[in-house]
Homo-oligomer: A and B are copies of this chain.
Amino acid sequence: MPQALYFFVVICVYKFNYMRKTIAIDMDGVLADVETQFLNWYERDFGIKMTKDQIAGLTEDTAFPEKGAIRKFAHTAGFFLTLPVMEGAVEAIATLSKKFEIYIVSAAMEFPLSLPEKLEWLKVNFPAISWKNIIFCGDKSIINTDYMIDDHLKNLDNFKGKTIMFHAFHNVSYTHHTRANNWKEVIDLMAKEN
């Protein structure tokens, strides 16, 4: 009987660790509130205070009057390190981690300065996430998880599993992915998944 119990425990541990469904979760615009940082930095550098309503529906290239502002911010040291955490993200990751295997998948390669900053940001704000579960990539086409939570269509459209499109100013016009307006809605959607 103790032996049967042993095997039962082993199987449970195995199932818990290796059979859990996987989620690829994006950083910028999902875990990290880049939109707020863009608006704050734009006001700081160009003296123009813009609102979330003003940029809703625009692209990253056309959202601000100063062309290339967003790309310039993303290439500036400190930008990624100082991003505010998205509201509700810490609690949501803690909740999702109980049931799913979480992978943080960030398209960081375009901005080399962001690599150490993103790693440090995750360590500070999400210390429970292991380095084993962090992926920095270029495009996300070879990422194979059961779910993807992302704000960018270029990532969601090519993904083979189930998608959740996290609300962002640049994706408000699109409806071909399940939308979550905030982390509370992500939790509600994922509560239905097994």
Which A residues contact B (CB, under 8 angstroms)?
Answer: 22, 24, 103, 109-110, 112, 115-116, 119, 130-139, 142-145
- Quote the shortest CB–CB distance from A104 to chain B (angstroms): 9
Also in contact, A109 and B137, with CB within 8 A (given A103-B142, A116-B115, A119-B115): no
A24 to B143, CA, bound (A): 12
Give Cα A115 to B136, complex, Å: 10
Q: CA A79 – CA B137 in complex, angstroms?
A: 22
Across the A-B interface, the 6 shortest Cβ-Cβ residue pairs? A144-B144, A132-B138, A109-B131, A115-B115, A135-B137, A136-B136
Q: Which residues of B contact A131 (CB under 8 A)?
A: 109-110, 138
- CB neighbours (8 Å) of A133 from chain B are 138-139
Contacts of A109 in B (CB 8 A): 119, 131-132, 134
- Closest chain-B Cβ to A71's Cβ sits at a distance in Å of 14
A173 to chain B, nearest CB (A): 25
Residues of B within 8 A of A22 (CB): 142
Nearest B residue to A135, CB-CB: B137
Asked if residues A24 and B142 are in contact (CB atoms below 8 Å), the reply is yes
Tell me the bound Cα distance from A115 to B131 in angstroms. Answer: 12
Contacts of A116 in B (CB 8 A): 112, 115-116
> In the assembled complex, which residues on chain B have CB atoms less than 8 Å from the CB atom of A130?
138
* Docked complex Cα distance between A143 and B133 (Å): 12
**Chain B contacts of A134 at CB under 8 A?**
109, 137-138
Alpha-carbon distance between A127 and B152 when the two chains are bound, in angstroms: 27
Complex alpha-carbon distance, A139 and B109, angstroms: 18
Are B132 and A135 touching (Cβ within 8 A)? no
Given the interface pairs A109-B119, A119-B112, the reply to whether A139 lies near B143 with Cβ below 8 Å is: no
In the complex, the chain B residue whose C-beta lies closest to that of A139 is: B132
State in angstroms the CA–CA spacing of A137 and B145 once bound together. 14
